[in-house]
């Protein structure tokens, strides 16, 4: 203990607490990690947190439900629809999402409300799903109806920014990793369940049933279920969801002054970049899995739906399991920097396996006539690209993505909220979530023009930069440190 005196004050300190006696007041400062005092009397509302997880699940369903049925639906509407238009429709919801996420985050910051941004987003998405079912009777070309519907659906699902912000601000720091992991598990479960719900309507066939002017069949019936879920989510948010921002500290209260310094922008940028890698690789695999597996392994349409459905379900199950394991008490305190590095290294290994090395079998077999099986004749890179063994693709699309995404997304998301600190995070979480949403556009273009090998190498280079950035700012990737000055009147 060190001690110094003056004529008017006495100051002394221990290893963790500084004291100052001035006049009739004793002021003491302590670090933010003494959470029991800083957040005294506060508890995470897990009922409200579980509601936001359910909302994330519904958002995941909205985005993925039509992934397998979209192409045959387009062909049923217009047989002349070009193949590349599918990539635009598949990716357009990501564009709407990228635009809306910061806007919904800004709304959350300004109003401190999760309820109303959530309701508005689901109302938009529900209307868009109804429009999706009406493409048969629209005066516009069906493909443009689908494009607009998916764009609005993606925009409505931008309310995820508000739910992510609530995971960060509605939980105590000790509960943060669990809250963020639950959110990730919720949306990934939605992504995996969407195609399954769509497949449940295959018994209706393409003819379906006629209800007046509207036709419901295996292509669009799932959209009715999605609309019902959206409107039900509005009801749940309106009547059951109660917001509790226990993770936000005000600058002043009756007994203490809480100093919340500026956050480390460089450390925050690294978290955003790492999350962009995870989201970008995940979205890229989701969009490219169908053309990639047809090109590499010659799967027909039924094999494509079956095998990619299985790999998607297995990958999602691994992500949910990993998220659950790392949210348990024994592992939630594991250094998040090591989790980010572990997930990034797993991504890098999977990219190395998928690179078309010259010692792999090849070159790729080209498709005959207008067949979609094998590598299309219009792709010049088919002549010199080799075929990665199928087990390596399984590692890439299931293990690498399933575990790597969970490690990167959960650790970067949790650390991001801790670096921002106990303040409003809607806008920050919106920008954080939007990063990587546009990757399907670039992945699809690169795949068509220069081949999947260059998509893989670009992803690998991005991962290498991410590992370097984490190591470079390793010491700065820590939660925001705050100070509490508590004034105690002298006796």
pLDDT of residue 250: 61
Q: What integer pLDDT is reported at residue 203 of this predicted model?
A: 83
Q: Are 376 and 83 in contact (CB under 8 A)?
A: no
pLDDT at 254: 44
The side-by-side arrangement of strands in the sheet containing 25-31 is 2-5, 9-13, 18-22, 25-31, 483-489, 256-259
Output phi, psi for 285, to 5 deg: -65, -40
Q: Which two tokens stand for residue 455?
A: 């998509």
At 394, list the tokens: 């399984």
User: Tokens 């995870």 correspond to what residue?
Assistant: 278
Structural domain boundaries in the chain: 2-30, 37-483
Phi, psi torsion values for 142, nearest 5 degrees: -55, -40
Give the pLDDT confidence score for residue 51 in this predicted structure.
Answer: 96
For residue 257, which phi and psi values (nearest 5 degrees)? Answer: -110, 120
pLDDT given for residue 57 in this prediction: 94
3-state secondary structure at position 97? helix
- For the residues of 2-15, what is the DSSP string, one character each? EEEE-SSEEEEE-S
pLDDT reported for residue 10: 43
Note the pLDDT of residue 331: 67
Helix, strand, coil percentages, rounded to 5, for the chain: 65, 10, 25
DSSP code for 157: G
Asked if residues 105 and 417 have their Cβ atoms less than 8 Å apart, the reply is no
- Residue keyed to tokens 């039924």: 302
User: pLDDT tens track of the chain, all 491 residues?
Assistant: 444 444 344 444 444 444 454 444 444 444 444 555 566 677 889 999 999 999 999 998 998 888 777 877 887 888 777 767 776 777 788 888 888 989 998 999 899 899 999 999 999 999 999 999 998 888 888 889 999 999 999 999 999 989 988 988 888 878 887 888 888 888 888 887 887 888 788 888 878 888 877 888 888 889 999 999 999 999 999 999 998 888 776 655 444 556 677 888 899 889 888 988 887 888 777 777 777 888 888 877 667 767 877 888 888 889 888 888 877 766 667 888 999 999 999 999 999 999 999 999 878 877 765 555 677 777 788 888 888 999 999 999 899 888 998 898 888 888 888 888 777 777 777 777 777 666 666 776 777 777 888 888 988 999 999 999 999 999 998 887 766 555 555 44
CA quadruple 165, 430, 92, 373: dihedral, nearest 10: -70
Name the residue among 169, 146, 208, 186 with its Cα closest to residue 50: 186
Fold entry, domain 37-483:
Growth Hormone; Chain: A; (1.20.1250)
> Around 142, how many Cα atoms within 13 Å sit in the side-chain half-sphere?
21
Residue 216's beta-bridge partner residues? Answer: 209
pLDDT at 373: 65
């Amino acid at each position: 203990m060190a001690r110094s005196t003056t004529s008017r004050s006495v100051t002394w300190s221990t290893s963790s607490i500084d004291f100052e006696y001035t006049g009739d007041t004793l002021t003491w400062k302590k670090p933010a990690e003494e959470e029991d005092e800083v957040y005294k009397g506060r508890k995470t509302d897990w009922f409200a947190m579980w509601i936001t997880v359910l909302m994330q699940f519904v958002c995941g369903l909205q985005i993925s439900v039509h992934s397998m049925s979209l192409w045959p639906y387009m062909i049923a509407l217009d047989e002349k629809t070009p193949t590349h238009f599918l990539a635009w429709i598949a990716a357009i919801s990501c564009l709407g999402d990228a635009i809306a996420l910061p806007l919904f985050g800004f709304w959350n910051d300004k109003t401190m409300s999760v309820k109303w941004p959530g309701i508005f987003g689901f109302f938009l998405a529900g209307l868009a799903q109804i429009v999706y079912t009406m493409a048969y009777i629209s005066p516009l070309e069906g493909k443009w109806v689908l494009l607009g519907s998916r764009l609005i659906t993606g925009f409505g699902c931008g309310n995820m920014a508000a739910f992510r912000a609530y995971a960060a601000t509605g939980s105590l720091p000790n509960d943060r990793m669990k809250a963020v992991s639950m959110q990730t598990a919720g949306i990934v479960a939605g992504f995996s369940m969407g195609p399954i719900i769509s497949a449940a309507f295959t018994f209706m066939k393409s003819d379906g049933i006629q209800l007046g002017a509207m036709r419901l069949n295996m292509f669009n019936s799932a959209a009715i279920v999605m609309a019902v879920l959206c409107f039900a989510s509005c009801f749940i948010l309106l009547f059951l969801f109660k917001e509790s921002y226990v993770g936000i500290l005000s600058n002043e209260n009756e007994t203490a002054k809480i100093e919340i310094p500026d956050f480390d922008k460089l450390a925050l940028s690294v978290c955003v970049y790492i999350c962009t890698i995870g989201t970008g690789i995940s979205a890229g695999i989701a969009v490219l899995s169908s053309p990639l597996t047809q090109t590499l392994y010659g799967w027909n349409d039924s094999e494509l739906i079956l095998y990619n459905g299985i790999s998607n379900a297995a990958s999602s199950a691994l992500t949910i399991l990993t998220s659950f394991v790392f949210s348990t008490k024994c592992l939630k305190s594991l250094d998040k920097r090591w989790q980010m590095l572990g997930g990034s290294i797993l991504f890098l290994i999977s990219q190395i396996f998928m690179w078309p090395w010259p010692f792999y079998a090849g070159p790729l077999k080209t498709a005959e006539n207008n067949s979609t099986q094998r590598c299309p004749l219009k792709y010049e890179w088919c002549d010199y690209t080799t075929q990665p063994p199928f087990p390596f693709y399984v590692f890439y699309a299931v293990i690498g993505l399933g575990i790597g995404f969970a490690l990167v997304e959960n650790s970067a998301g949790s650390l991001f909220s801790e670096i921002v600190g106990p303040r409003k995070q809607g806008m920050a979480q919106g920008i954080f979530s939007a990063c990587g949403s546009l990757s399907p556009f670039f992945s699809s273009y690169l795949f068509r023009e220069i081949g999947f090998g260059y998509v893989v190498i670009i992803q690998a280079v991005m991962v290498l930069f991410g590992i370097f950035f984490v190591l470079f700012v390793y010491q700065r990737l820590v939660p925001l440190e705050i100070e509490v000055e508590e004034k105690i009147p002298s006796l």
